[in-house]
Structure 1
Amino acid sequence: MQAVAPVAPAQPTPPVDDSNTQGASSATDQFGLGFESLLQIVLTQLTYQDPLEPMDNFEFVSQLAQFSQIQQTQEMADSLETLVAAQSTGQAASLLGRTVDVAAGNGSLTGVVTAVAFQNGTPALTIDTEDGNTISGLPLGNVTQIRETP
């Protein structure tokens, strides 16, 4: 039977600045493996380790802790994504009936928010401008000022 060298422990990756991207990346996207796949790697490693030179207990427990941390990070990222979506929905709904300024091109549009639509989970506003036009599909992130409607 051929001996298989143990798999080296996963090295921590530096934090990634996701502030300019929408939504959180899951651990599966970042590492290319889901938690079940990582667990399968550990089981395979145990199955094929050399019985005369077993893996150090400390190293094994360290790997399991890293896999557990990856799973917890993925669950936290999913929860944060849900929280951000709910917060965005609440913010958009609170604008109904209020006068807003929305950045558009080199200027801005002013109008009363009459509707909020959700396109792929992202809120988009519909406003009635002062000159009687209705403009739809304005991103919530483009709102520059909010005022009480007179």
Structure 2
Amino acid sequence: MPVDAIGSILNPASATATRQNTIDQEDFIKLFLSQLQFQDPLEPVDNREFLAQLAQFSNLEQTRQTSQNTEGLLVMNSSSQALNLLNKTVSLANGSGTTDTGTVIAVQFTTSGPELSIQTTSGQVLTNVRLSQISLVKQ
């Protein structure tokens, strides 16, 4: 789940490239079991190599758990930031290079992260505003 904070720049292309270049736990297990299944019975895998691979597997699992915990913290942080913006005046940059100013009137939580609804000074309501689009928070 991608989560962005105020002022962060989200680059989905780099995230996709990173996921394609990594191996997950399931792929590692398949590779490991294939190696055991097709090893030469007359020359089995050296014990040191076997233990090193088990250590790599353990390290992979710990890394996965750390990643999940970090993602959970980012989701909580993003949610907290969004809720703290309720009834605050914010400025956000739009695609044309200008900024809109308004008050955050609602927060909606979606699978891609929190989205804000902002009532501009002209009375227009902007919906589906991401935290990364906020450029300034006024008290």
Counterpart CA distance in 1 for 2:37 and 2:25 is: 18
In the TM superposition, 1:29-68 aligns within 5 A as: 30-31=21-22, 34-68=24-58
- What is the CA-CA distance between 1:44 and the residue it aligns to? 4.3
**Percent identity between the two aligned chains:** 36
2:86 to 96, 101, 112: 96
- What is the CA-CA distance between 1:113 and the residue it aligns to? 0.7
Counterpart CA distance in 1 for 2:71 and 2:20 is: 14
Gaps of 5+ in 2: 1-9
Cα distance 1:36–1:131, how it changes in 2: closer, same or farther (>3 A)?
Answer: closer
RMSD: 2.6
Counterpart CA distance in 1 for 2:51 and 2:137 is: 54
Q: 1:91-148: per-residue Cα shift (whole Å, max 9, x none)? A: 0000001100011121111111110112323111111122222221111111111111
Residue 132 of structure 1 aligns to which amino acid in structure 2? G
CA contact (8 A) 1:113 1:126 kept: yes
**Structure number, greater radius of gyration:** 1
Name the structure 2 match of 1:140.
Answer: 131
CA contact (8 A) 1:85 1:121 kept: no
Cα distance 1:53–1:91, how it changes in 2: closer, same or farther (>3 A)?
Answer: same
The 10-residue stretch of structure 1 (100-109 or 121-130) with the greater mean CA deviation from structure 2? 121-130
3-state SS, counterpart of residue 92 of structure 2: strand
TM-score (norm 2): 0.75
CA contact (8 A) 1:116 1:123 kept: yes
In the TM superposition, 1:1-150 aligns within 5 A as: 20-21=11-12, 30-31=21-22, 34-104=24-94, 105-148=96-139
Counterpart CA distance in 2 for 1:76 and 1:131 is: 45
TM-score (norm 1): 0.70
- What is the CA-CA distance between 1:77 and the residue it aligns to? 1.6
Cα distance 1:108–1:63, how it changes in 2: closer, same or farther (>3 A)?
Answer: same
Residue 83 of structure 2 aligns to which amino acid in structure 1? A
Counterpart CA distance in 1 for 2:129 and 2:33 is: 51
